[in-house]
Every structure is written in structure tokens, then in C-alpha cells.
Structure 1
Amino acid sequence: MATYLYRCTSHGETEVVRPIGSAPPTWSCPVCQSECARVFVPPMLSLAPSRLVAAIDRAERSADAPEVVTSLPTQGARRRTPMAPPNPAYQRLPRP
């Protein structure tokens, strides 16, 4: 079961518990019986690791204010070529 959020213009938000994927686009308000529009909210990110939450926040910020590179990377940061796999049959294949 999933919790879906609907917003009434007069009475605020209403939570509705339904099976996953069966939420209608509108729901009737329990107070005034008018149509409420569904509100899309992010999943429960409080249970996610902090590195994941930080990456999501950085991705959202990049839409409005992307990070700009001002200098070349340092000389010590070189790419290492991957080692050959331990299987001898694969050692004859060309490396990237």
C-alpha cells in the first residue's frame, strides 16, 4: 500500500492509502466533496543514505545554477588503464 497526497483548494491536503499504481488523478475532499488534484511528492528520502540525498540535492541545484569549471584538473589526477582480467583467454583481447 502507498500513501498518496491530494490537495483541496479550500481545506488543504488529504492523504489517501491505496494499492501501488491505483491512485486516480483526482479524489473527492472528505470535508466539502469537491475534486482534489493529486500532488506529486518525493519518496521518503529520510531513509536514504546521506550521500544519495546530497547527490539528489546537487542535481536539483544544477538546473538553476550549474557548477562552472574554472581550471584544469591537477596533473596527479590521471586515468589509470584497467588491468587485464585474470583469465588468460581474455588477456589477448585489445584493451581500451
Structure 2
Amino acid sequence: MTIYEYRCPDDPPFEASHRIGEAPDSLACPSCGKPSGRMISAPHLSKSGSPAFRLIDSTHRSASEPEIVNSQIPGTPRRVQSYSSNPLHRKLPRP
């Protein structure tokens, strides 16, 4: 079902739900009963389901509120420091 907008000459615009291609060109206004013509308007698209739109939204949001990252860069190997098991090295300072 698609939501269509109609404009009454006396009252504010109202919406009605119809199947695609079955919407009438005019409807009676729910408050005054006068015939109201269908308006041509931009479609109401949902942003919540698309990963691309979520990425665009997070990019716009991070321009003013950057995320703080406390971890390593992904894909970089971790430095593994080898420690000696020699008892004489136990007293040496470790990094």
C-alpha cells in the first residue's frame, strides 16, 4: 500500500493509503467533505533498512562527532615481544 497526499482547498493536506495505480485523482476531505485533488510529492523512502544509507548517515554524523578509537588499526600485525626465560634477565626492566 502506498501513501498518497491530497490537498483540500480549505483545510490542511491529508494522506490516504491506496494500492499503486488504484489511487483516485480526488477524494472527499475528511473534515469538510469537499473534493480534494491528489498532490504530486516526493516519495517517503525509508533509510533504516539500507546499509548504504546507514553508512552515509554515520559519515555525516562523524563530521561533527568523530568516534574515538582506542584499538589498533585493523589488519596490522600485533607486536609480540619475546621474553627470555634466563633467570638473570628477570631483574631487568621490561617495557
Q: TM-score, normalised by structure 1?
A: 0.46
**Which structure has the greater CA radius of gyration?**
2
Q: TM-score, normalised by structure 2?
A: 0.47
